[in-house]
């Protein structure tokens, strides 16, 4: 029996089925996923970190299915968004627009007792949502009870502010978005108080990675050939998703970013493979 070490230090038994499921979700065929799982199983050793396993799987995916390797690395791609300078609330607003929400970011709204800067106000149908965004740029960090309590307290103050006529937004629910996992206490309190949570692997069918994968919204930070400087330039120029690089001509992108055509050609082709693999 082989045990691997997770980012938070916990040990769990190595399960090749997880490798297979994740590779298939990234777009690899069952045959390739089985080959990769078999190879990982040969190389894994007791006490091996999940980060080392990730590196091994990525290396094998690049050999068998390059575009799948990019999609497999989605979690780390989200972590890389922060240092590149893109605001997570804008990322969330852009994601929700793809699902039919009307969004507004960084709005100042008066509650009963204080003025609040709301990360995202989202509207769909008759419902309005107050969204708090919590970004982490390091792996293994949980969004916990403190962040959920903070979100709920702001929501209550804003509800009372609406009742007193201090603002126009009759918020239906508070909603907390994060790019990492939620603690068990955070999830328990949220269920009790009707707080919506969206994070990594939660809720199971509507988690942040599921929402992104369903619409093919892979951030440019998944691209394997993208260097750090180019990453920052593209994101700060508004090219956040791989789809953005395919929506306009390379001449336009080059003119806006200063990135050379030869480099852009490689990035656009890789983006096309990533998006095509999702379809």
pLDDT tens-place string over residues 218-274:
999 888 888 888 988 998 888 989 999 999 999 999 999 999 999 999 999 999 988
Task: Give the residues of the chain that fall short of pLDDT 70.
Answer: 66-68, 70, 83-85, 277-279
Q: For residue 24, say if its preceding peptide bond is cis, omega within 30 degrees of 0.
A: no
Residue with tokens 């607003």: 93
pLDDT at 74: 85
DSSP three-state, residue 227: coil
Residues 260 and 148: their CA atoms lie apart, in Å, by 45
Residue with tokens 């960090």: 141
pLDDT at 1: 85
β 11-13/127-134 pair status: unpaired
Radius of gyration of the chain (CA): 21
Per-residue tokens: 16: 């090749």
pTM for the whole thing? Answer: 0.79
Q: Which residues contact 261 (CB under 8 A, 6 or more apart)?
A: 250, 251, 254
Per-residue tokens: 45: 């050793």
């Amino acid at each position: 029996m082989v045990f691997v070490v997770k980012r938070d230090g916990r040990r769990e038994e190595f399960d090749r089925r997880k490798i297979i499921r994740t590779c298939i979700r990234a777009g690899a065929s069952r045959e390739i996923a089985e080959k990769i799982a078999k190879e990982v199983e040969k190389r894994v050793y007791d006490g091996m970190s999940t980060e080392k396993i990730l590196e091994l799987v990525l290396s094998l995916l690049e050999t068998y299915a390059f575009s799948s390797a990019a999609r497999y690395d989605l979690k780390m791609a989200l972590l890389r968004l922060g240092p590149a300078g893109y605001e997570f609330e804008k990322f969330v607003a852009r994601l929700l627009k793809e699902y039919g929400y009307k969004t507004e970011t960084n709005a100042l709204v008066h509650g009963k007792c204080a003025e609040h800067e709301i990360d995202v106000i989202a509207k769909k149908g008759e419902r309005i949502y107050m969204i708090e965004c919590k970004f982490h740029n390091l792996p293994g960090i949980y969004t916990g009870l403190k962040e959920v309590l903070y979100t709920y307290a702001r929501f209550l103050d804003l509800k009372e502010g609406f009742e007193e006529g201090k603002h126009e937004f009759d918020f239906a629910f508070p909603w907390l978005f994060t790019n990492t996992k939620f603690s068990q206490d955070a999830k328990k309190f949220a269920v009790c108080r009707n707080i919506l949570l969206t994070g990594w692997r939660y809720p199971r069918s509507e988690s942040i990675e599921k929402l992104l994968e369903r619409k093919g919204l892979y951030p440019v930070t998944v691209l394997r050939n993208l260097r750090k400087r180019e990453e920052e330039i593209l994101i700060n120029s508004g090219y956040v998703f791989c789809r953005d690089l395919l929506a306009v001509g390379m001449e336009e992108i080059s003119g806006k970013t200063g990135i050379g055509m030869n480099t852009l050609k490689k990035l656009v082709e890789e983006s096309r493979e990533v998006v095509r693999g999702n379809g």
